[in-house]
Structure 1
Amino acid sequence: MPRLGGVAIFGAFVLSLAAALTTASLRPDLRFGSSLHILTTMLVPGCMIFILGLYDDVRSVGPYVKFTVQAIAAAMLWLGGFRILDLPVLFGARQFPWFVGLALTILWVLGITNAFNLIDGLDGLAAGSALFSTLVVFVVAVLSHSSLVALMTVALTGAILGFLRFNFNPATIFLGDSGSLFIGFILSALALEGAQKAPTVIAVAIPVVSFGLPILETSLSVLRRLIGGRPVFTADREHIHHKLLQLGFSHRQVVIVLYAVSALFAMLSLFLLWPTGSSLGLVLAVVGTGIWLGVQHLGYPEFGEIRRVAQRTLDQRQIVINNLAIRRATAELKVARDYPQVCRILLAAFSSSDFDAFDLNVKLLISEYSALEIGDSIPVTHGEVRYRWNRPGSLALPATAPTWGLTLDLMTSSNRRRGSMNVHRLYQDHPLQLDVNILISEFPVALANALDRVIEHAVARVPLSKGDNGLVEAQAG
């Protein structure tokens, strides 16, 4: 299919304007004042953008060449008086220095121009979204008594409507870069011109909200690629319309859904025609909530990872608490004097952590086992010493529920193996709020040394009845 639909858009727009202005020149009551200057300022760089897109449709043009030409066109708008002079909603009534205004103007034009190009991924999508935005610019122009801007939006609306007849799925002609870039550029310029005569909130907020879908798509695409470590200009199939197709919507259904989104943005922007604190807050709340829910539903993995990182940051306080509990237990084990004290230290450390159970298993020499069996300072059952803890409310783990575990080999500073400690945690979505490195570094050595010390102390208090040397495995319980 031909990708030169932009030629039809451009031709219809220019011819409509020429016809309207010719008629106006014949009737004094329809004159548009300084229309020639405004038209020249807008159409000369607009022709540059159209030619750039047309060349890109026929031959490929690199992104840096595109941005350079677009920046030159935006600078021409600025020189002609299409400027962002201030942002009173954010920075008060103080005007920017000329170089800041120039940079913001170029950023605005480049952003909107390429935003409409970016959403041109399905038949009729970019043109239909542009139609809703154009209608908003028309309403603002009429209410601001900007007759030329109103005329140009009418011409652009007619060109888009005539084109959509052949561009809607199944399309017989595509918009192409010549069409999408030209539409985006003209809309960005019309918004700048209309803003010169509009109240401050209208000048800033309405264009941003009315261009909501392409701005949202562009913002998501840039953020996704930056988060994922990919070049910003790399093409992918993770745009909003691609995600909706993956969810099972048909081509037409996706376009209609996004038409509805564009219409919603347009209606919300019109609420700002009579700006008050409550109306601005309501629009921002609806837009913000809608974007948040929509992005969550589309299931972008990059934003899911950001959400997990943010949650991890919020959980950092609990992580610090759990880390300190293990560090405190490590310090207390170094001075523990008896087995019950060791058990109390372990219980205090793990009952406040994210683990759900642990088993402590201790290895004894036969001579130690014989002595401990006679004494009562360390309980020995069936030749084993074992201490087990389960979180209150849970059954005996890991036998009663699926868990994952971590085994800590207990080696003393003198390289004597004193057994092992197994910690268990139920499978769950919430991540472990503990730095595992703290648990596997100094803590096992401190526990092994403490067990070695208290066992030797307990044995020293009981006369040995057997003197065999050897190892048996025992568990405290």
Structure 2
Amino acid sequence: MKIVDQPDNYRKVHEKPIPLMGGYAIFLSSLLSFCFVFYFQKSLFKTEVIDPQFWSLLVGAIIILITGAYDDLHDMKPRHKALMQAFVASLLYMMGFAINKVSIPYVGTVDFTMISYPITIFWFMGCMNVINLLDGLDGLASGVSLFAVITLTVSAANSGNTTILVLNLIVAAAILAFLIFNFNPASIFLGDSGAMLLGYYIATISLISNHKAETALTLAIPFIAIGLPVFDTIVAFLRRWSRRVPISSADRKHIHHVLLNSGLSTKSVVLILYAICIIFSSVSYLLILKRDGVAMIFLSIILIIAFLYAKRFGIINTEQILKRIKEDHYGNKHSSKVHVELEKALHQFEDAQSLAELWQVSLPVFQEMKLDQVIFVSEQNQEKLHWKNDLTPTNTKPEDIVDQWSISLKVFKDQNLYGKLEISMTAEDTHLRDIFSQVNSLREAIANHITRITQQKENASTEHAAQSD
């Protein structure tokens, strides 16, 4: 059926096609085990294990599994996959899986009732995607998920919640059985279906615990337990954002890629990351024991070490992030001023009766855009209109190492060519795409009004000729 992961000689480290059926194995084994528990629930536990929420959990799992399976076969677009995830999260929200309150150490209980829906959607989508993004080495995503579920199992046992305990044990056993075949060298992969399913399990089980527990602190336990993929996802987002590349694009700067590039074997890298997961799970266990202060100290130390490591090996580039922030701040501020002048010019164009008047109205826009010079060459009579910025340039670099660019744009409407705009500028912090967008708006307006002025003159000439006759 070609449900396999092909090697790509870039991000993937396996050398031959590997089946992507792990999600199906985990789902079916969990479902069969759960049906067994359902059948023997009264005789085994002397209690009702099943409630209506579990049926919605099952329906959501099936939808996620199908979505991931389609993605494995056809490479679903990220926005379509996100829509399916949001749909499942919305379905479960309506069935009572909602984040209404969260207890934060030293802060107290925070009420999220007014924004419960978006917070819940973000939680579901976050858990599903952080596990999916970490699925880059044999046994990595499944192992991290196993540690998270074990942490939730300990939490359920500590709270005496038999329902969640049984469910966690089932999922943990299914992951552990799969991990035997998924650990390096893997004979089967999770695929997007399996990775999203595990994230879905973690998100859902956490909310069941959160809903039934007296304190909402249970939500912090899985969040910290999956601290490794959460940290890796956050720095990946910042890394791609700062470089202005799509957030969904792939790269080789994830933590496991950096460790592999240092010369470690795949198995060694996975074991190191397992050890990190055990540390995060231990911090979660401290929260289970209500030792919030000690947990926060350990968590702070871990995050500082992780940040220094990420900065040292190029996983995150703080200089690039600060540069992006500075560029966006300057760009937004500068663009706002340009748009004000552009709106004024577009309004004043309505009263212009000649090309010369259109040109005079455009000059403040050129000035605010900080262009060096603009030349308009008329197609009709080769008339040349010229504007040059006489202000002293702010760039202090020598002229021979300052970037400069020029662009030539034809001014036309329909099949009528009126001339061309020649623009040049010394490169600063403004991006070419912003300048082009603004100049293009001005060009289209000039073309439209030249057409209007030309038609008015033609109409006036026709009327004058008719009166003469």
Q: Report the TM-score range of the alignment, normalised by the length of the smaller protein.
A: 0.5 to 0.7
Q: Give yes or no for contact 1:271–1:283 (8 Å, CA) kept in 2.
A: no
2:57 corresponds in structure 1 to 42
In the alignment, the residues of structure 1 paired with residue 313 and residue 167 of structure 2 have an alpha-carbon distance, to the nearest angstrom, of 36
Structure 1 residues 14-163: aligned runs within 5 Å: 14-25=31-42, 27=43, 30-33=45-48, 35-89=50-104, 92-93=108-109, 95-98=111-114, 100-163=115-178
Which residue number in structure 2 is paired with residue 463 of structure 1? none
Match of 1:357 in 2: none
Mapped to 2, the partners of 1:153 and 1:168 lie a distance apart of: 21
Equivalent residue runs for 1:249-288 within 5 Å: 249-276=264-291, 278-288=293-303
**Cα offset, 1:34, TM superposition:** 5.9
* Distance across 2 between alignment mates of 1:289 and 1:145: 35
Mark the CA change 1:253 to 1:128 in structure 2 (over 3 Å): closer, same or farther. Answer: same
Amino acid at match of 2:139: G
In 2, the alpha carbon distance for the partners of 1:11 and 1:276 equals 38
Q: Which amino acid aligns with 2:251?
A: D
Letter in 2 for 1:96: F
Helix, strand or coil at the partner of 2:98: coil
The aligned residue for residue 241 of structure 1 is: 256
Question: Structure 1 length as normaliser, TM-score?
Answer: 0.61
1:6-40 deviations in Å (ceiling 9; x for gaps): 11111111111111221114x1x614436231311
Q: Is the 8 A contact 1:49 1:178 kept in 2?
A: yes
Question: In 2 relative to 1, CA 78–301 (structure 1 residues): closer, same or farther, beyond 3 Å?
Answer: closer
Q: Distance in 2 between matches of 1:261 and 1:269?
A: 13
* SS, match of residue 284 in structure 1: helix
Between the aligned partners of 1:40 and 1:82, the Cα distance in structure 2 is 12
Structure-2 residue corresponding to 1:219: 234
Provide the residue aligned with 1:434 in structure 2.
Answer: none
CA distance in structure 2 between the partners assigned to 1:93 and 1:132 by the alignment: 27
Inter-partner Cα distance in structure 2 for 1:193 and 1:301: 35
Please give the per-residue CA displacement for 1:391-442, whole angstroms capped at 9, x wherever unaligned: xxxxxxxxxxxxxxx99xxxxxxxxxxxxxxxxxxxxxxxxxxxxx9xxxxx
Counterpart CA distance in 1 for 2:271 and 2:319 is 27
| RMSD of aligned residue pairs (Cα, Å) | 2.5
1:313-324 matches, cutoff 5 A: none
Partner of 1:446: none
Q: 1:308 to 1:75 in 2, by over 3 A?
A: closer
Q: 1:309 deviation in Å?
A: 9.7
Distance 1:63 1:308, change over 3 A: closer
Task: Determine what percentage of the aligned residue pairs are the same residue.
Answer: 34
Please give the secondary structure, in 2, of the residue aligned with 1:35: coil
Task: Give the alignment partner of residue 7 of structure 1, picking from 4, 20, 24.
Answer: 24
- What whole-Å deviation, never above 9, does each CA across 1:319-371 have from its counterpart, x for those lacking one? xxxxxxxxxxxxxxxxxxxxxxxxxxxxxxxxxxxxxxxxxxxxxxxxxxxxx
In the alignment, which residue of structure 2 is the partner of 1:302?
A: 317
CA distance in 1, matches of 2:187, 2:316: 35
For 1:88, what is the secondary structure of its paired residue?
A: strand
Matching residue of 1:193: 208
Change over 3 Å in CA distance of 1:270–1:103 after alignment to 2: same
Distance 1:280 1:41 in 2: 34
Alpha carbons 1:6, 1:175 under 8 Å: kept: yes
1:42–1:77 Cα contact (<8 Å) kept: yes
* Counterpart residue type for residue 28 of structure 2: G
Q: Do the aligned residues in 2 keep the contact of 1:228 with 1:302 (CA within 8 Å)?
A: no
154-163 or 141-150, which deviates more: 141-150
1:100-158 CA-partner distances (Å, limit 9, x unpaired): 10110000010011111111111110001111001001011111222121111111111
AA aligned to 2:206 is A
SS of match in other structure, 2:250: coil
In the alignment, is residue 167 of structure 1 matched against residue 182 of structure 2?
Answer: yes
Give the secondary structure class of the aligned counterpart of 1:248: coil
Deviant stretches of 4+, over 4 Å: 306-310
SS in 2 for 1:122: coil
Residue of structure 2 equivalent to 1:346: none
The answer as to whether partners of 2:286 and 2:292 remain within 8 angstroms in 1 is no
1:87 is paired with a residue whose SS is strand
**Structure 2: distance between partners of 1:15 and 1:166:** 20
- Could you say if the C-alpha distance between residues 220 and 96 of structure 1 is closer, same or farther in structure 2, counting changes exceeding 3 Å? same
Q: Which has the larger radius of gyration?
A: 1
**Where does residue 363 of structure 1 map in the other structure?**
none
Separation in 2 of the partners of 1:126 and 1:204? 20
Relative to 1, partners in 2 of residues 1:206 and 1:292: Cα closer, same or farther, differing over 3 Å? same
2:281 counterpart letter in structure 1: A
SS in 2 for 1:196: helix
